[in-house]
Structure 1
Amino acid sequence: MESRPTCPRPPLILALCPRAGRGNPLKGRRFDGGGFRGYNALPIGKKGVHVFETLSTRLQAIFDRLSGRGKLSEQDIDAALREVRLALLEADVNFTVVKAFLARVKERAMGAEVARSLTPAQQVIKIVHQELIATLGQAAKLDLSGPPPNVVMLVGLQGSGKTTTAAKLALHLRKAGQRPMLVAADTYRPAAVTQLEVLGAQLEIPVHSEGTSVPPPQICAHALDKARKAAYTVLILDTAGRLHIDDQMMSELKVIKATVKPSEVLLVADAMTGQDAVRVAAEFNGQVGLTGLILTKVDGDARGGAAISMREVTGVPIKFLATGEKLDALEVFHPDRLASRILGMGDVLTLIEKAEASLDKESALAMARKLRTATFDLEDFRKQLREVRKMGPMSQLLEMIPGLSQASRDIPADLTEKQMKQVEAIINSMTPEERRRPDIINASRKRRIARGSGTTVQDVNQLLSQFRQMQRMMKDLAGGKKGGLFNLFR
């Protein structure tokens, strides 16, 4: 059982994710695409997408209908499982995996634990959740237990995001206390060498490259020797890819593996390619031998079946998910958390971990004190906007909160960038006194602020209205009104 982090969350996060047992003033307020009824949201436009969006929507609709019934008959359960089967197949989950998954669910759902339950629908959902976790497999950490430098070898086809993923992994490992070095071993694509060098310079992580004329196995051997002498703890190899699997590529990968003896051989696979990604993983595992998988483009609008099928078909564990284009958009794979997100149950632990990684603890404590004493002003609001923006798109944050996954689909992927930048521009155009005392902002001040921020008076009015409503919401949260997250938007 994972322990819950205790890092204090800032008021904007507290507004979305109050402490267990505390109330939620948003109870009963429905998200209508333009805001929470009763609390205006920031203006939004085009909605965002996620690799599991369609599947998650379908499954939630099935279970909502099931929850509307009392005692469940065998026919009710059969009908629900037929819909689940169709939803999984349409999400491009492997047919054999679907068949085995539903057999396990049906066996348990027809048993005594559902028949004797006071809430049979909830028991069925619980069984589906548990079996989905079992299908996704156990969490598997990187094996960095050997004497340094441990070698992590990335393999995959062209276009899967291997070079960017190498940089993301290096950043992730540096945050974990390692000293990584990147190796540009894709000599068939000169742009890959340049790209890795640029990413390394951006992250201030060293890159070993020898151009495109030296054989990749030799480059990797030179890099390993260099890493030992310079006391780097992890060596990340960005190997060559192809548009399709071929014998030359596989032979070269086998030579590299024999030369540097990596502790990890990770396939970087594009989640948007569906069952093709599963077939690629099986082929690489059979020829090279994989220790893990990194699924990329999980923030795309594909059907998501690859992630569910991958472990059961190949026997290789998923170790990371790449959830965006930014270099910090790499998540450790937790099967239980992903299963919860697919079923619309949220993922509070990942949300809190994002907050811990992105937010300053002292700043959060100071902000919490202001919240308790009702002294939260526009200066503080601006700080909170900046901190929440570090954590990623608002749609992804809302998706992690129980009860808000449906609302997250109405939030555009660029909300935290485009719309929040506009809000920050308005606040920046205010004087320090206006930020501390927004009540003094009259009509003439609003016109000046609008001109200075390149917005309209209506935009300024909307922000001030939102801020007053947020103050009321924060006050309600601090007061601990009764309610629950699972009652939101109903």
Structure 2
Amino acid sequence: MFESLSDRLEGAFKTLKGESKLTEINIAQSVKEIRRALVAADVNYKIAKEFTDKVKDKALGQENVLKAVRPGELMVKIVMDELVELMGGQAAGINLNGSPTVILIAGLQGSGKTTFSGKLSLFLKEKRKKKPLLVACDVYRPAAINQINVLGEQVGVPVYTEPENKNPVEIALKAIAHAQETNRDVVIVDTAGRLSIDEAMMKEIANIKEAIQPNETLFVVDSMTGQDAVNTAKAFNDVINYDGVVLTKLDGDTRGGAALSVKYTVGKPIKFVSTGEQMDTLDVFYPDRMAQRILGMGDIVSFVEKAQEQFDEEEAKRLEKKIKRNKLDFNDFLSQIYQIRKMGDLKSLMKMIPGMNKMTRDLDIDDKALNRVEAIIQSMTPQERENPEVLNMSRKKRIAMGCGQTMDDINRFIKQFDQMRKFMHKMSKTPGMGGMPGAGMPKKGFRRK
């Protein structure tokens, strides 16, 4: 996401390369390129103009700054501060006060409302320790009820449906009563969408909101629609006065105009962003972290948070003991693969590491590398997994046939695993040093484009 914008902004900062200080001339040149970058990212020209005017005013106020600070670095800092402010300043929390808390989901058809509802229920269940109930109030789309039932089963959250009832207000009210009876503390109401804004749709969503009096109303918008997403968000807000915006499909939008413009245009914060099809790909929106990503600084805080979510202290202690004894086996390696998978896809994770964003663009990082490793290990017997030393030629041939890999693949993986194990054992003897089983990833999963 934001790759085009990041590249163009980087080009704008390069106009200051070689300059000893900020001047009115080089500031004007850099600001002009920044404005072009924003417009190309589908940011409304008026917003881009106002943004760059603020950047220019701040930069002009820094003309006599200490020479130890490079002009390009200073401009990056100014732009970052303004980007954070443009996107809302700070993360906006979700209101979970209520007994039960009622959350109304609105948006156009195809924006990802139902999928978001499922993701939100999983988020609240796992990260907020809530007991959510999903409610199917889309009475028009034939597959809507089936979809939300599938998602509910996938994330382990019950779904309230009334397939024969065509009155969404009635369904929502009964669902809330059902949640109270079954001790469900959050009710997520998924409503119907349309292919475009129409009077009937607006009236229906307004009636539902008036009837159920939700604690939180979220508008879901497809970020890939760019400036149209912002216009739609404004039209909905004029009718239902929602509390926050959810941007879906952000991984498919390399421009990012919607993320940059919606807070300014609508006056409502972005509360969540969704970046994939998997149900655990929902993140709280942090303006400062997003600004860092846009400027190619990575997002190490989010990376650490994802790692901490998967961290198991007891498992870590067990692995540490095995590493010190040089007894790490394939079962341990497989458990680490599962933890990496839970954090997200490899390329997205690497982009969060400062300095890695640009490097990963030149790499075709193949998540299937993990599948190949998993297939190799699962083709082993329990004895072979626990005792890598027993793997002789005949066993390797059987494993290769079982997982569909070549003997070269098997030998390469076993060699890398052995090297990794020896390295980690050696590092474990050095105070304060350690290792990570994932370091043994087969190199064939990474190739230059």
SS in structure 2 at match of 1:299: helix
Q: Tell me if structure 1 keeps the 8 A contact 2:5–2:254.
A: no
In 2, distance between residues paired with 1:342 and 1:370?
A: 41
Q: CA deviation at 1:461?
A: 3.3
For structure 1, which segment, 129-138 or 427-436, has the greater mean C-alpha deviation from structure 2 after superposition? 427-436
Change (3 A) 1:72 1:441: farther
2:174 to 216, 222, 228: 222
Q: CA deviation at 1:164?
A: 0.9
1:134 aligns with 2:79: no
Q: Tell me if structure 2 keeps the 8 A contact 1:190–1:212.
A: no
Instruction: Give matches, 1:302-341, under 5 Å.
Output: 302-341=254-293
For structure 1, which segment, 434-443 or 301-310, has the greater mean C-alpha deviation from structure 2 after superposition? 434-443
Look up the match of 1:98: 48
In 1, distance between residues paired with 2:169 and 2:231?
A: 26
Look up the match of 1:237: 189
Instruction: Give matches, 1:53-132, under 5 Å.
Output: 53-63=3-13, 65=14, 68-69=17-18, 71-74=20-23, 75-112=25-62, 115-120=65-70, 121-132=72-83
Change (3 A) 1:293 1:365: farther
In 2, distance between residues paired with 1:306 and 1:476?
A: 50
1:398 to 350, 354, 377: 350
TM-score by length of 2: 0.87
Change (3 A) 1:276 1:351: same
Q: Tell me if structure 1 keeps the 8 A contact 2:40–2:255.
A: yes
The residue type paired with residue 84 of structure 1 is: I
For structure 1, which segment, 294-303 or 262-271, has the greater mean C-alpha deviation from structure 2 after superposition? 294-303
1:425 aligns with 2:375: yes
SS in structure 2 at match of 1:256: helix
Look up the match of 2:239: 287
Look up the match of 1:454: 404
In 2, distance between residues paired with 1:67 and 1:465?
A: 48
| Percent of paired sites with the same residue | 44
Q: Which runs of 5+ in 2 are unaligned?
A: 434-449
SS in structure 1 at match of 2:122: helix
Q: How many residues matched? A: 427
Look up the match of 1:148: 99
In 1, distance between residues paired with 2:67 and 2:388?
A: 54
Q: Tell me if structure 2 keeps the 8 A contact 1:152–1:234.
A: yes
In 2, distance between residues paired with 1:473 and 1:244?
A: 59
* Residues 284-334 of structure 1 deviation map (CA, whole Å, 9 limit, x = unaligned): 001111100111011214421101111011101000001110111110111
Q: CA deviation at 1:475?
A: 7.2
The residue type paired with residue 452 of structure 1 is: G
For structure 1, which segment, 67-76 or 131-140, has the greater mean C-alpha deviation from structure 2 after superposition? 67-76
Change (3 A) 1:410 1:363: farther
Change (3 A) 1:78 1:447: farther
For structure 1, which segment, 292-301 or 198-207, has the greater mean C-alpha deviation from structure 2 after superposition? 198-207
SS in structure 2 at match of 1:177: coil
Q: CA deviation at 1:113?
A: 7.2
Answer 1 or 2: higher relative contact order, Cα 8 Å, separation at least 6: 1
* Residues 192-217 of structure 1 deviation map (CA, whole Å, 9 limit, x = unaligned): 11211221122221211112543111
Q: CA deviation at 1:224?
A: 1.7
* Residues 343-389 of structure 1 deviation map (CA, whole Å, 9 limit, x = unaligned): 11111221122122234332133334555666544443222122101
1:166 to 117, 137, 150: 117
Look up the match of 2:444: none
Change (3 A) 1:347 1:210: same
Q: Tell me if structure 1 keeps the 8 A contact 2:222–2:229.
A: yes
Q: Tell me if structure 2 keeps the 8 A contact 1:57–1:406.
A: no
- Aligned residues: CA RMSD: 2.6
Q: Which runs of 5+ in 1 are unaligned?
A: 1-50, 482-490
In 2, distance between residues paired with 1:114 and 1:361?
A: 51
Q: CA deviation at 1:148?
A: 0.8
Q: Tell me if structure 2 keeps the 8 A contact 1:117–1:123.
A: no
Q: CA deviation at 1:62?
A: 4.2
Q: Tell me if structure 1 keeps the 8 A contact 2:16–2:30.
A: no
